[in-house]
Structure 1
Amino acid sequence: MSAVDRIVGVVTGHTRIAIAAMLVLTVIMGAGAGAVEQQSSLDQFQSDTAEADASAYIGENFASGPDNVTRVQVIVRGENVLSNESLIETLAYQQRLRDDPQVNATLVNESAGQTPATFGVANLIARSAIQQEFQAINETQNALRAAMTTAVRDPNVTAAAAFANANANTPIELDRTDGATFEQAVADLRNATSGAEQREAYRLGTSGVLRDEFAQFLGQERLTQPIEQSDIEATIRSPTLERQIGAIQSLSEAELQTLVRTVLSGEAGQASEQALGFMPAGEYYEPGSTAANATMLLVTQRTDGPVAAGGTAGEEITDAQLAMQDLGDDSDLEFVVFGSGIITNEINQSMSDSMALVGPLALLFVVVALAVGYRDLLDIILGIVGIVAVLVWTFGFMGWTNIDFNQIFIAVPVLLIGLSIDYAIHIFMRHREERFEMGNGNLRKAMRVGLGGVGIALALVTATTVIGFLSNLVSPVPPIRDFGVVSSFGIVAAFLVFGVLTPALKIEIDEFLEARGIDRTKRAIGTGGGRLSQLLKIGSLGAKRSAPVVIAIALLLSAGGVYGATQVDTSFSQEDFLAEDPPGWTENLPEPFAPGEYNAKANLEYVNERFQRQDAQASILLRGEVASDGTLDVVRRSQSEIASKDITQRLSNGQASIQTPLTVLNETRAASRSDAFNRTFDAADTDNDGIPEENLTAVYDALFEANPQEAGAVLAREDGDYTAARLVVDLKGTASGAEATEQLRSVATNTETEQFTAIATGQTILFEIVQDQLLDTVLESLLITLVSVFAFLMIVYRVTDGSATLGFVTLVPVALSVSWILGTMYLAGIPFNVLTGMITSLTVGLGVAYSIHISERYNQELERHDSAWAALERSVTGTGGALLGSAATTVGGFGTLSIALLPSLQQFGIITGLTIIYAFLASVLVLPSLLVVWTRLVGPSEKLDVPADADSSDGDVGTAASSE
């Protein structure tokens, strides 16, 4: 008795012990399911690369202030977002954000020169208006002071004449009350006997005259205390939103248009360049135009730690961004919030909604398919119980091993449902075959013979499928490795559950029912004659008439598939994980099946086309002696090279959007923020070319003193030494990852010197690396799977049947189906992504099951029949019927993924369903011809000379089966 027979004997002979043991294991494994956590961050797909290390270094050592931050882009859309009403509404929306406790709790602290929590074109225009107000006040104040001096020094000039002359030449129109105050101030000045009295007289004649203007400028109804210079500076530097709204309201339509034209001309210095960064790029906005249908508002939020490329937002950030979206709903303008929290929410929601749609539908399809195939309620229930047990084992394993549930794991339940039901169909159908031939009194014996007969095939299927999935361990992408491990465990769990628990339960329940007079004998699929049997015989008929022709046709199709395989693209981007708008029919679904609304993908496309995305940045990280002489000359050359690249984002005025230590130095110097800084800068610029050449440590120190926020974004220091710098490049939203990676790596190579290294990194580059790794995964896992499965099957068949070549023949149809599926991907325009990238190993892992069942059954039937043709016919109609049932349920299960909300899942479901179809067709159409050739060359070729109709028919077969 073989080991398989002994194990099967234990299961079928001690069913209650087997049931108890499996239930205990199910409870133990299921206890870990509660620990499974959901993970949707795209940074989990990144492997340990130099670029990933550089990105992490940047996150830890560079900052735009003391807080780690994430920036939210709010796209403001309307008929004209630059009109007076729209600018005021945009500022009012910002005020609503600050007034909302949930949003305000996440906003950055604006003190100490921090980046404003909310900022956009409306703020820049309002600040320009406020500056103009102050300039008018200041000009008038100076004119009044000069007029007072003239009136005191020249006795021929009266105070009234001096006031009238000043009033005629100042931008502010003063009234009689102002004139009276001025005349009183002149009188006080003439009578002053001390310096203090003179200063008070001048104060009265200037700021006293302009007290109403100063009150309005400071946002007060009236002045209650003397004007402080610090209050004036604070109002100019960081005016309140209420003050900004007042500044816009005070402008006439003509004044506003003039101001908008000036601010957005691209010729008004740094503020103008900053303003254009908030406007649509390219053809969507003409610099200086006073009308636009969209602009951008930036909201800056604090985070607990550095935000990784493609990382997800925490719950607090996500909730705040959702609240931002709600706060814009009641406005005449449209406020579209686009940030990591919104994306995180939609990815998580799409995962939940996809599971809610796909899971029940997959189970429903399986139930319907089994109802058609089984025509037996109890067998259907046993199959579902087995599926639930497999899922409990699998999710429990994930919990015990701390493997998170991510986007690609949505496919795991569907995969295991399909494979589990495959096992159930093969065991149940084989049991039905054996019992139908043995008679009603052989229930337990029929299960022992059927399970023993199909057990070897199931063990081989399990082993080869596990090999296929474990080949993903070579992938450098962590979630793909986890997927391979979890899927492999789930397959083993399915083998144990349907090889032990389900047969034992079936025996116990059937015996209980038959003891009460209920007949449990059923006929297997495809064994009762009719059209199905005739269809299943096509492969055996083709093999009998012309096996070489069948094989030649299959090879010709495969050649076309191989060509298509070389043309399949690879894809890894944020768009792959953003849901499409759900189809209309889902709107009528009841809770909890009805999906939510999804706008992030459409918004992402809109932003990519018109604006600079905040996460579409790349960096060239310089590490080493970045304060050495001549470093900034190297930076200047690299800066020019980056500006010449077509992947670099440009503002509406055509200027490249780049930030480097040199640009920050020049901007700080142009703003004249510090005389000390300017002196240090000029001293280090030995050849007067605008680039400091030496003593860069002192230059950098002065920069941090004058402009710490921007300096910290491009320079890193440890213990006073400058250890790193970076060149930040804003990328076009339409630039491909391959282009950006190639061009920036070229710049990095040209930037590197003996003093420091240079490496290009950023989300786009990291995603491109993952994309390249996906292609490596496809090729490596396919090679490993094919070699491993070939070797395994050849060894097994050599040991069990004395013919290693049967293992080779068994896998050939699977290799052919791999080429077919890759060719189909090319024709359908489906790229390799994190899910479809596993299709080659999955095709081998799943497809080999169909071939093994046919080969194993054929090998068994050869021993029962004198004719190879009869053995082949019996194999394709008996096992082929079970294969058809399992293929139908598996294809249907995976087909349900086509209604998932994630595009990558839809593609995976379609392509995997086709994989099953191709594997089934290859096993029932091509494999019979290969088995005939194998029999002629290696096997008992004499049996090919015996006609099928000369063999002992069904009765003899039944006797042979009974005798095992």
Structure 2
Amino acid sequence: MSGPERIARAITAHSRIVLVILLVSTALVGAGAPMVDDDSSLSQFETESEEAKALERIDGNFTSDQQENTTRVQVIARGDDVLTRESLLASLEFQQELRANESINATLAEEQPITGIENLVAITAIRTEDAQRVNETSARLEDGLNETAGLQRQYEQLNASLESGSINRSEYQPRAAELEGQFDVVSERSTRGLNETQTARYESALQQVREIESQRYEIESLSANPRENPDYQQLTADLEEAYRSGTAGVLQAEYAALESNDRPPLDEQIAAIEELDDAAFERTLERTLSTNDSEDNAALALLSASYEEGSTDAEARVTSVVQSTPDDGTGGVGGAVSDRIVDSQLQIRELATDYDDSYLVFGSGIITDEIDRSMADSLAIVGPLALLFVVIALLIAYRDPLDIVLGVAGIVAVLVWTFGFMGWTGIAFNQLFVAVPVLLIGLSIDYAIHVFMRHREQREADGAGGTVRGSMGIALAGVGTALVWVTATTVIGFLSNLVSPIGPIREFGIVSSVGIVTALIVFGALIPAAKVEIDEFLESRGIDRRKRAFGTGDGRFSDLLTVGSTAARRIPLVVFLVVALLTAGGVYGATQVDTSFQEEDFLADSPPSWTETLPGGMSPGEYHAKDDLEYVNQNFQREDQQAQILVEGTVTDPAVLEEIDDARNDAADSEIAYTLATNEADVQDPLTTMEGIAAQNESFNESFTAADTDDDGVPEQNVSALYDQLYEIDEDAANQVLYRSEGGAYESARLVVALGDATTSETTSEMRTIAGDIEDGSDGRWSAIATGDPIVNHIVEQDLLDTVLESLLITLVAVFLFLTGSYWVTGNSASLGAVTLLPVAFSVSWILGTMYLIGMPFNVLTGMITSLTVGLGVAYSIHVSARYTLELERQGNVWSALRTTVTGTGGALLGSAATTVGGFGTLAFAILPALRQFGIITALTITYAFLASVVVLPTLLVMWTRYFGPDVSFDTPGRRTGTSTASDGGTDADYQGGDEK
């Protein structure tokens, strides 16, 4: 007795023990299912590339205190003109509402969390009014000092007249009293509105002016050239200092407030805009948007790309909301986002709907919410549809309610085992795993159909003397080897994804393999044991459980399934020619398939109208993120759409700045850079930062200019000292472009290029060229590497392509070795393994050619299609080859063996293919685009594999038999009567003369 026969007899003879053991195991393993977590972040797909590691160093070293552990929400106002007074006021009121919401306010960053043009216009109005008031006060104080100086001159002249005797004491006293009174009037008028401290300081300045003027007058009266007198010169300097003390000194706090970055409260900002008349509002808006003072105008960066410089009209503007994520590690859109951030961003979007203006709210939390919901909605739609389709298919194939129930119960058990395994091993559920239930449903029912159909065949062959238990034992022994081979080759196909550098793809391969092995256990032991017990129980009570196998007997299905055997006998050369042409076209198309790893692949489209008729539990929600993302990409600069160059080494070397300057110019001139409303490229590096600080700080400007010895805008000396001074003046700005270790050593610098409408391939190529130019001049003193999210995503795309090629090669080689070895061990020719695998190779080329024709790229799901095609497709070929060799040995005639194979096993294959195609086809109704693509292409894969196995493989098997197979008859068989026999060779069938039908 062979090994498969012993195992089959053990399962059927001890069916109750098998049931208990497997049901308990199902409960134990399934206990891990509730522990399955979910992860929808795109960062999980990043690989351990040098570029990804460089980006991690940038994120860790070049983040200021304000930006560390933060995420941004873009609130975009859209309309005919979003720069009207009413629109700006509405946005400020919206900000007030955000602040009033406790859960939203709790997430906002500490310093300036909300910034929009509405804030900048209001602050400009307030600062303008404050500056005007301060200037008026300063002018009044200066006038008071001038009047005091003039009055003191008069007082000194009066004193001189008294001393010279020009006037007497009686004339002097009233005039002196009058002057003192004028002093008091000037002081009182000038100090109006000042506080006590300011008044005291001003009066002190007035007194100093009087004393200094008195002394200056004395020198002037005694000297012909008083200006040459050193004492006079010192008194003049003292007078200037007294004036500064009496003006700028008195208004020191007011001037500091004008230069401060502290923002007025929102109610003051609202009041400031409301109080402006139309002309003043227009002037304030023009001043806010003006680039005269600075090319790097913050307001212009908040306007859409369509804004025309100098205009006071705009169709869109953005308000940036910065949220703190101290416990989340949240980065950009692709990073993991906490529920706290997701909930707050959803609330922001909800509040925005209450305003008349059209607001678009875009952020990582909203993206995460839509991805999570789309996964859940996809499962809610696809799961029931897949099960419904399977039930309908099984109704047609089984025509028996009990067998259908057993099949569905087996599917549930496989899913419980699979998700339990994920829970116990800590594998998170992500976008890829939405396909796992559908995959396992299709494969599980495939196993079920083969077992049940073979059992039915055997029961029919055994006749009235057969038993349920005996027929099941023979059926499992006959089909068991093929199922084990199918499982092994399918597992090989999925485990080939372990070579992928992308973690989720590796996990998908592992989980799918575990699910497939589980399907073999469940439908090779648990369900057969249950069927034996149930059928014996029913037949013991007089209920006949015999059913005819699907596809056997005469009929349209049988005629359809014999197309392959008929073609192999009559037109084999035509079959070869058609296959060769299709394969050649597929190979060409395979070289043209694109690769894609974009956020759009994971974002749901708006659900079609038919979904509105679905029951409440299946009806999907609304999805806007994909359209919003497209709008943001077209009109605004996103924080995660940046390419960067990390320079590490002796970054204090002046030559580094020379290289960075050249790199900045090259990047600005390239087509990948994002152009601001000023028509300037948005590029940031140590030089641009130092230039910006020099424009605002006089002392740094002096140092920067002194270090630039050849006036080319790049410092040639004292670079380290310049960096030190830069950190002292604006540490946050310096941290954006320089990394200084705790010991004070400057270890790296970076150049950041905001990207426009460029592909990841174009960006990667351009930035690598620029980085290479920087490194070429280093002589080993520094290194430069191009990185950033677009470049890392491009590497993921390349890794996907590598996964496609490597997994295909590994799968083909591994399956070839497995099949040839298995056939050789079982006494067949090893060459049969190559013949069995050849139709699968054809299917691979066909499916890749189809992907090219319909414009479907490789992504994280469709990138697994090659290994999946081999893994799934070889199952059909194995069943056909295994059945053919068994029938060939039993019947001794090629054509009879082929007909029995294609009508017996072919019928089971048709049923399993139909259910698998239908199961994967339901993914076409998924909300996620990548899942839809995966479902469509996998359904086509199954179709191609089935056609190749029942149409192409028969011709190949005939050729194999003729040249490598056993010595059998090629005579045309007689007309078949009765039902085809089981493939185990245990029963003979009668054939009579006549032509083959």
Same fold (TM over 0.5): yes
Judged with a 3 Å threshold, the aligned counterparts in structure 2 of structure 1 residues 198 and 226 are, in CA distance, closer, same or farther, namely closer
Looking at structure 1, the residues matched to 862 and 78 of structure 2 have their Cα atoms a distance apart, in angstroms, of: 37
Counterpart contact for 2:114–2:320, Cα < 8 Å: yes
Judged with a 3 Å threshold, the aligned counterparts in structure 2 of structure 1 residues 90 and 837 are, in CA distance, closer, same or farther, namely same
Match of residue 407 from structure 1: 431
Counterparts of 1:699-848 in structure 2 under 5 Å?
Answer: 699-718=722-741, 719-732=743-756, 734-752=757-775, 753=778, 754-848=780-874
Q: Is 1:883 equivalent to 2:917 in the alignment? A: no
Counterpart contact for 1:189–1:201, Cα < 8 Å: no
Question: Per-residue deviation at 1:379?
Answer: 0.3
Judged with a 3 Å threshold, the aligned counterparts in structure 2 of structure 1 residues 235 and 700 are, in CA distance, closer, same or farther, namely closer
Question: Per-residue deviation at 1:685?
Answer: 2.8
Judged with a 3 Å threshold, the aligned counterparts in structure 2 of structure 1 residues 957 and 612 are, in CA distance, closer, same or farther, namely closer
Counterpart contact for 1:31–1:396, Cα < 8 Å: yes
Match of residue 126 from structure 1: 122
Residue by residue over 1:56-82, the C-alpha shift from the partner in whole angstroms, topping out at 9 and shown as x without a partner, is 111111113253211221111123110
Amino acid across the alignment from 2:138: N
Q: Is 1:45 equivalent to 2:16 in the alignment? A: no
SS in 2 for 1:943: coil
Match of residue 346 from structure 1: 370
Unmatched 5+ residue regions in structure 1?
111-115, 159-181, 204-224
Counterpart contact for 1:865–1:952, Cα < 8 Å: no
Alignment partner of 1:290 out of 312, 337, 361: 312
Residue by residue over 1:138-194, the C-alpha shift from the partner in whole angstroms, topping out at 9 and shown as x without a partner, is 332233224334544557999xxxxxxxxxxxxxxxxxxxxxxx99852647999x9
Match of residue 403 from structure 2: 379
Q: Is 1:575 equivalent to 2:600 in the alignment? A: yes
Match of residue 202 from structure 2: 199
Counterparts of 1:609-628 in structure 2 under 5 Å?
Answer: 609-628=634-653
Alignment partner of 2:499 out of 461, 464, 474: 474
Alignment partner of 1:669 out of 682, 685, 694: 694
Match of residue 927 from structure 2: 901
Q: Which shifted more, 935-944 or 922-931?
A: 935-944
Question: Per-residue deviation at 1:667?
Answer: 0.6
**How many residues matched?**
909
Looking at structure 1, the residues matched to 561 and 431 of structure 2 have their Cα atoms a distance apart, in angstroms, of: 38
SS in 2 for 1:277: helix
Question: Per-residue deviation at 1:866?
Answer: 3.3
Match of residue 301 from structure 2: 277
Counterpart contact for 1:607–1:613, Cα < 8 Å: yes
SS in 2 for 1:273: coil
Looking at structure 2, the residues matched to 951 and 372 of structure 1 have their Cα atoms a distance apart, in angstroms, of: 25
Judged with a 3 Å threshold, the aligned counterparts in structure 2 of structure 1 residues 956 and 770 are, in CA distance, closer, same or farther, namely closer
Looking at structure 2, the residues matched to 611 and 580 of structure 1 have their Cα atoms a distance apart, in angstroms, of: 21
Judged with a 3 Å threshold, the aligned counterparts in structure 2 of structure 1 residues 438 and 184 are, in CA distance, closer, same or farther, namely farther
Match of residue 178 from structure 1: none
Match of residue 241 from structure 2: none
Q: Is 1:464 equivalent to 2:507 in the alignment? A: no
Residue by residue over 1:339-358, the C-alpha shift from the partner in whole angstroms, topping out at 9 and shown as x without a partner, is 11111111111111111111
Counterpart contact for 1:865–1:951, Cα < 8 Å: no
Unmatched 5+ residue regions in structure 2?
155-181, 207-249, 990-997
Looking at structure 2, the residues matched to 454 and 190 of structure 1 have their Cα atoms a distance apart, in angstroms, of: 107
Question: How well do the aligned residues superpose, as a CA RMSD in angstroms?
Answer: 2.6
Match of residue 245 from structure 2: none
Question: Per-residue deviation at 1:888?
Answer: 0.6
What's the TM-score, normalizing by structure 1?
A: 0.91
Amino acid across the alignment from 2:517: V
Judged with a 3 Å threshold, the aligned counterparts in structure 2 of structure 1 residues 755 and 955 are, in CA distance, closer, same or farther, namely closer
Match of residue 13 from structure 1: 13
Q: Is 1:94 equivalent to 2:116 in the alignment? A: no
Match of residue 176 from structure 1: none
Judged with a 3 Å threshold, the aligned counterparts in structure 2 of structure 1 residues 709 and 156 are, in CA distance, closer, same or farther, namely closer
Judged with a 3 Å threshold, the aligned counterparts in structure 2 of structure 1 residues 958 and 144 are, in CA distance, closer, same or farther, namely closer
Amino acid across the alignment from 1:248: I
Counterpart contact for 2:502–2:796, Cα < 8 Å: yes
Counterparts of 1:848-867 in structure 2 under 5 Å?
Answer: 848-867=874-893
Alignment partner of 2:321 out of 299, 315, 325: 299
Looking at structure 2, the residues matched to 660 and 477 of structure 1 have their Cα atoms a distance apart, in angstroms, of: 32
Counterpart contact for 2:605–2:928, Cα < 8 Å: yes
Question: Per-residue deviation at 1:677?
Answer: 3.2
Question: Per-residue deviation at 1:262?
Answer: 3.2
Looking at structure 2, the residues matched to 198 and 104 of structure 1 have their Cα atoms a distance apart, in angstroms, of: 42
SS in 2 for 1:557: helix
Q: Is 1:267 equivalent to 2:292 in the alignment? A: yes
Question: Per-residue deviation at 1:273?
Answer: 2.2
Looking at structure 2, the residues matched to 959 and 888 of structure 1 have their Cα atoms a distance apart, in angstroms, of: 25
Match of residue 216 from structure 1: none
Question: Per-residue deviation at 1:99?
Answer: 1.8
Looking at structure 2, the residues matched to 400 and 615 of structure 1 have their Cα atoms a distance apart, in angstroms, of: 35
Judged with a 3 Å threshold, the aligned counterparts in structure 2 of structure 1 residues 597 and 958 are, in CA distance, closer, same or farther, namely closer
Residue by residue over 1:434-465, the C-alpha shift from the partner in whole angstroms, topping out at 9 and shown as x without a partner, is 10121244211111111111111111100110
Looking at structure 2, the residues matched to 234 and 680 of structure 1 have their Cα atoms a distance apart, in angstroms, of: 22
Counterpart contact for 1:312–1:341, Cα < 8 Å: no
SS in 2 for 1:940: coil
SS in 1 for 2:422: helix
Amino acid across the alignment from 2:439: L
Match of residue 108 from structure 2: 107
Match of residue 652 from structure 1: 677
Match of residue 589 from structure 1: 614
Judged with a 3 Å threshold, the aligned counterparts in structure 2 of structure 1 residues 365 and 955 are, in CA distance, closer, same or farther, namely closer
Counterpart contact for 1:60–1:306, Cα < 8 Å: no
Looking at structure 1, the residues matched to 790 and 931 of structure 2 have their Cα atoms a distance apart, in angstroms, of: 22
Question: Per-residue deviation at 1:402?
Answer: 1.6
Match of residue 995 from structure 2: none
SS in 2 for 1:689: coil
Amino acid across the alignment from 2:339: E
Question: Per-residue deviation at 1:364?
Answer: 1.1
Counterparts of 1:487-502 in structure 2 under 5 Å?
Answer: 487-502=512-527
SS in 1 for 2:612: helix
Counterpart contact for 2:96–2:266, Cα < 8 Å: yes
Match of residue 117 from structure 1: 113
Match of residue 64 from structure 1: 64
Residue by residue over 1:296-348, the C-alpha shift from the partner in whole angstroms, topping out at 9 and shown as x without a partner, is 11111112265456213211111111111112111111221111111111111
Amino acid across the alignment from 2:729: A
SS in 2 for 1:961: coil
Residue by residue over 1:121-145, the C-alpha shift from the partner in whole angstroms, topping out at 9 and shown as x without a partner, is 1222222222221232133223322
Q: Percent identity?
A: 53
Looking at structure 2, the residues matched to 87 and 952 of structure 1 have their Cα atoms a distance apart, in angstroms, of: 87
Counterparts of 1:323-334 in structure 2 under 5 Å?
Answer: 323-334=347-358
Q: Is 1:892 equivalent to 2:907 in the alignment? A: no
Amino acid across the alignment from 2:90: E
Looking at structure 1, the residues matched to 393 and 153 of structure 2 have their Cα atoms a distance apart, in angstroms, of: 107
Q: Which shifted more, 57-66 or 78-87?
A: 57-66
SS in 1 for 2:906: helix
Amino acid across the alignment from 1:260: L
